[in-house]
Structure 1
Amino acid sequence: MPATAFDAIIIGSGQAGNPLATALAQAGRKVAMIEENRLGGSCINYGCSPTKTLIATAERLHHIRTSAQVAAPETASATDLRVDLAAAVARKDGVIAAMRDGIRSNLTKKQNNITLLEGHAAFTAPNSLHVALANGRTQDLTAPLIFINTGTRTAIPDVEGLADVGYLTTTQLLDLKELPEHLIILGGGYIGLEFSQMFRRFGSRITIIESGPQLLEREDDDVCRGLQEALTKEGIEFVMNARAYRASRSASGSITVSAHTSEGERRVRGSHLLVATGRRPNSDKIGLGFAGIKTDDKGYILVNNNLQTNVKGVYALGDIHPGPQFTHLAYDDYRIVRDALLHGRKRSARERPLPYVVFTDPPMARIGLSEGQAQEDKIPYRMATMPIRTIGRAQHTSKTLGFWKVLVGKDDRLLGATLLGPEAGEIMAVIQVAMAGRLKYQQLQDMIFAHPIWAEGLNNVFRDLKAGGK
């Protein structure tokens, strides 16, 4: 059977692939969308959306549990409140199912030029694909434009016995119906931190084993210390500078992780083990070699500033190419390609801001340079920090943990900000807009903000700017 010809083929229905399919279809292009797993990619199915939905549930429980601080003593105590995990997961599943149904409707009902194929795609030549469909059939496709949007999966560390103990990935943990008694987490990055606080607030005991000297390796020391202190206050245990080398399961079912630390060997016993030590690209089973598509030594597909691979007409979008792995950057990948192909406007994928938020409580957010990056790049800066407790809104709400740190350049314009505290992501967005508009810090310092909101702190955070550097 001859191959079916399309104008464009998109492999993977993630946050770059879906809107690109719609944009190309609306422009009159004949598009094939191929998805092997669930529609929506990582963000909707096992990333941002399900995680933040469960975090919201955990936060609600935390508010109820701590309500005794202001409740009359004769009322019932909620101190020992625990989650109905099956109910929480069912709520999450309902939210995600609605999102997934919306994507399916858009791809199959609203766009006449999109053909949705569910199955596994692999290259057979630079512009040709073979698809093993979920219904057992196969189909060959060709197109002058192919977009790879296949994302990543959990990277499993080389730990003796790990494969035999029944560890969990984040995808599996999101569907767990029974609460772990003691959850051990390998990895102190943002994924491990968000899950640690979530399950601690659900009622689990938590131990994080982190190989480095600090959490969030790309952040400044003071920010990492502040976040670790906040999580420790909630009862989360940290084992730092620890290299896990063995995992085992006892006859009773408990899991033991053995690690080398600076203080000697440490053994941590728990009921469940989550592996959150990073991600690896889903590029190893799609026949890149048959197309001559180049990758780096970790398997990420190499692209230029326009997200083009070394093969003409083939692009890589989202987490599958090197760089930070965030949904908002994947969506911007779509915009870069859309504008170049449909509107004749080119913009480099290298020259864009990187805002991001760690959704702990308090959350941590950053835009632009950290202090460490400014020092490493020898960029002159002035810096100011302000404790959250000095903001009026913090005093009203008793949410006083954390601080804001801002960096200002020689021209009085903002270089970056790191925020640890309530609504950090929303305040970061204000600063990002100011940076995009090239405002000077004095304009934020003198701006009239409604009283009393968190952003009002921007009137005061620049008050004690001091020269930075070491």
Structure 2
Amino acid sequence: MTTSATSNEGITPEEYDLVVLGTGEGAKYLAWTLAKQGVRVASIEQRWIGGSCPNIACLPSKNIIHSAKVASYFARAAEFGIDSAGYKVNMAGVTNRKRSMVKALVDIHVRNFETSGVDLVLGHGYFVGPRLIQVDMNDGTKRQLRGANVVIGTGTHATLDETPGLVAAQPLTHIEALELETLPEHLLIIGGGYIGLEFAQAMRRLGSKVTVVERNTALLHREDPDVSEAMASLFHDEDIKLILGASVESVSGTSGQSVSLTYQQDGVSATITGSHLLVATGRTPNTSGIGLDLAGVELTDRGYIKVDERLKTTAPGTWAIGDVAGSPQFTHIAFDDFRVIRDNLAGKDHVTTGRQVPYTMFTDPELAKVGLSETEAKAKGIAYRLFKIPMAADLRTRTLSETRGFMKALVGEDDRILGITVFGVDGGEIMSAVQIAMIAGLPYTALREAILTHPTLMEGLIVLFSSAPMVVPGATA
């Protein structure tokens, strides 16, 4: 490694081909891939080696959700012909199972950094000039790293707004909720989005009383009405209280002891009290305190790093990746961001525009979608044929006693699939199969005429695309 002249901090900058700030999904794969190609790479991480997904987000939450699924099977034991004298949830055991998984995942990440040849730098990194990052190391020392190219992948964190008393109540975010060792007696959740709803169902199944307070008048208000209604019905049946169309006015007390929310609904104020409070109202980009102004990196009006369709920032040789770049906040999108930057660094033109954005919410049953929804198609004036069946029409669901929900697909005038939504068991897997057909540009008839194994959930796609469609015309002049 070569070094340049001593900086004005008295620290000699170390020169790299690539410096990556953060080790999240896209950032780590970029570092590993280029380092294996012989590129001199340094990755800076303050705490979560591997980023949020293996440590405090996707995988840990799905681990807890699966424990809740197992608990739900115990509760339904008689339905499967099994006599049970009852069961008790050991929340410490649930959390320890999650911790064991996280430790194994982090160990894998550490080995990947070691074997790839990346210089993993542990500490708080911030810009002190263009493409020059100072790191206050976790061991108390300081280093400066300069990259021919620099990639910013600092992610986002849970938003805590200025609601009176909220911060003082020391509420849980998803991070603390994943570390609970005792089960909340009554969990209050502010926010009816992905995080809020996944935690709501999981904690209810593990034994907590749960109340969700949502400012919009419908759950998942951006989804089609039938999706929103189906989710609300699910939560009603699982005895999760929903307070919709409610704006939180103030919070009092302390989460973990006793905490109260005062909210307004239909012009009337009311108060609800619980033992714990979880805030799941959105994400805030991690862009403060990292010297972006010194780097020449501009922000959008929403506080995310301003990037073009190739993920270049406003500063030469400086890129942003994943959530902090304003990309859709999914791990799989961050991974695709890695491909975009990798290719552009290699001189290939690769852009983020026009890509598919699939998603799955891991409630039980799952909600999965890719492509156009009915709401989106109507707003764009796109004509479509709607194929829709209840999940019970997929015979595999009957063997599983998992018949709740439906699947529906939009098909264009050229017989290509415009989008699919599945609210049902293993919805993400079913959606992914259709997404592959969409990527290949196959007509829906290819799935309708396919020979698929019986009885599998995928076989339901034959039933779906053999059903009688409803024709919805596009915009007229």
TM-score if structure 1 supplies the norm length? 0.96
**Other structure's SS at 2:187 match:** strand
Q: Indicate if the aligned counterparts of 1:381 and 1:468 stay in contact, CA closer than 8 A.
A: yes
Spell out, residue by residue over 1:301-339, the C-alpha distance to the aligned partner (whole angstroms, 9 max, x if none).
Answer: 011111111111111001101131000000111111112
State the partner residue of 1:182: 186
1:77 to 57, 65, 85: 85
Q: Indicate if the aligned counterparts of 1:189 and 1:217 stay in contact, CA closer than 8 A.
A: no
Q: Does 1:94 align with 2:100?
A: yes
Q: Does 1:111 align with 2:116?
A: yes
Spell out, residue by residue over 1:147-201, the C-alpha distance to the aligned partner (whole angstroms, 9 max, x if none).
Answer: 0011010001221111222211110110111110000000000110100011001
Range with bigger deviation, 306-315 or 388-397: 388-397
Q: Indicate if the aligned counterparts of 1:130 and 1:139 stay in contact, CA closer than 8 A.
A: yes
Alignment of 1:312-323 (within 5 A): 312-323=316-327
State the partner residue of 2:62: 52
State the partner residue of 1:402: 405
State the partner residue of 2:197: 193
- Return the offset for 1:289: 0.6
How many Å separate the matches in 1 of 2:332 and 2:224?
23
1:5 to 15, 18, 21: 15
State the partner residue of 1:467: 471
- Return the offset for 1:298: 2.1
| CA RMSD after TM alignment | 1.6
- Return the offset for 1:116: 1.1
Q: Indicate if the aligned counterparts of 2:387 and 2:410 stay in contact, CA closer than 8 A.
A: yes
Q: Indicate if the aligned counterparts of 2:407 and 2:423 stay in contact, CA closer than 8 A.
A: yes
How many Å separate the matches in 2 of 1:389 and 1:454?
11
1:292 to 289, 296, 306: 296
1:280 to 279, 284, 303: 284
How many Å separate the matches in 2 of 1:127 and 1:391?
55
Distance 1:464 1:176, change over 3 A: same
Identity of aligned residues (%): 37
Q: Indicate if the aligned counterparts of 1:192 and 1:276 stay in contact, CA closer than 8 A.
A: yes
2:73 to 63, 79, 83: 63
Q: Does 1:224 align with 2:232?
A: no
1:417 to 417, 420, 435: 420
How many Å separate the matches in 2 of 1:418 and 1:285?
40
1:168 to 154, 162, 172: 172
Q: Which amino acid aligns with 2:67?
A: T
- Return the offset for 1:263: 6.2
Q: Indicate if the aligned counterparts of 1:227 and 1:362 stay in contact, CA closer than 8 A.
A: no
Q: Which amino acid aligns with 1:351?
A: G
State the partner residue of 1:269: 273
Q: Does 1:129 align with 2:129?
A: no
Spell out, residue by residue over 1:401-438, the C-alpha distance to the aligned partner (whole angstroms, 9 max, x if none).
Answer: 11111101110100001110011101101100110111
How many Å separate the matches in 1 of 2:80 and 2:178?
33
How many Å separate the matches in 1 of 2:53 and 2:355?
21
Distance 1:330 1:51, change over 3 A: same
**Other structure's SS at 2:39 match:** coil
Distance 1:440 1:34, change over 3 A: same
Q: Indicate if the aligned counterparts of 1:11 and 1:121 stay in contact, CA closer than 8 A.
A: yes
How many Å separate the matches in 2 of 1:63 and 1:162?
36
Q: Indicate if the aligned counterparts of 1:39 and 1:104 stay in contact, CA closer than 8 A.
A: yes
Alignment of 1:328-407 (within 5 A): 328-342=332-346, 344-407=347-410
Q: Does 1:41 align with 2:51?
A: yes
- Return the offset for 1:17: 1.1
**Other structure's SS at 1:357 match:** strand
How many Å separate the matches in 1 of 2:412 and 2:75?
44
How many Å separate the matches in 2 of 1:144 and 1:70?
61
Spell out, residue by residue over 1:240-278, the C-alpha distance to the aligned partner (whole angstroms, 9 max, x if none).
Answer: 000001111189942110111126223211000000000
- Return the offset for 1:21: 0.8
Spell out, residue by residue over 1:338-375, the C-alpha distance to the aligned partner (whole angstroms, 9 max, x if none).
Answer: 12223x43221122111110000010000101111111
Distance 1:265 1:209, change over 3 A: same
- Return the offset for 1:395: 2.0
How many Å separate the matches in 2 of 1:460 and 1:70?
26
Q: Indicate if the aligned counterparts of 1:381 and 1:407 stay in contact, CA closer than 8 A.
A: yes
1:159 to 151, 158, 163: 163
How many Å separate the matches in 2 of 1:60 and 1:350?
40
- Return the offset for 1:20: 0.8
How many Å separate the matches in 2 of 1:440 and 1:328?
25
How many Å separate the matches in 2 of 1:434 and 1:187?
34
**Other structure's SS at 2:458 match:** helix
How many Å separate the matches in 1 of 2:33 and 2:400?
44
How many Å separate the matches in 2 of 1:22 and 1:252?
41
Q: Which amino acid aligns with 1:26?
A: K
Q: Which amino acid aligns with 1:84?
A: N
State the partner residue of 1:28: 38
Q: Which amino acid aligns with 1:91?
A: R
**Other structure's SS at 2:431 match:** helix
Q: What is the aligned length?
A: 463
Q: Indicate if the aligned counterparts of 2:32 and 2:113 stay in contact, CA closer than 8 A.
A: yes
How many Å separate the matches in 2 of 1:391 and 1:70?
19
State the partner residue of 1:203: 207
State the partner residue of 1:17: 27
Range with bigger deviation, 156-165 or 423-432: 156-165
Q: Indicate if the aligned counterparts of 2:171 and 2:254 stay in contact, CA closer than 8 A.
A: no
How many Å separate the matches in 2 of 1:444 and 1:271?
50
How many Å separate the matches in 2 of 1:29 and 1:21?
9
**Other structure's SS at 1:144 match:** strand
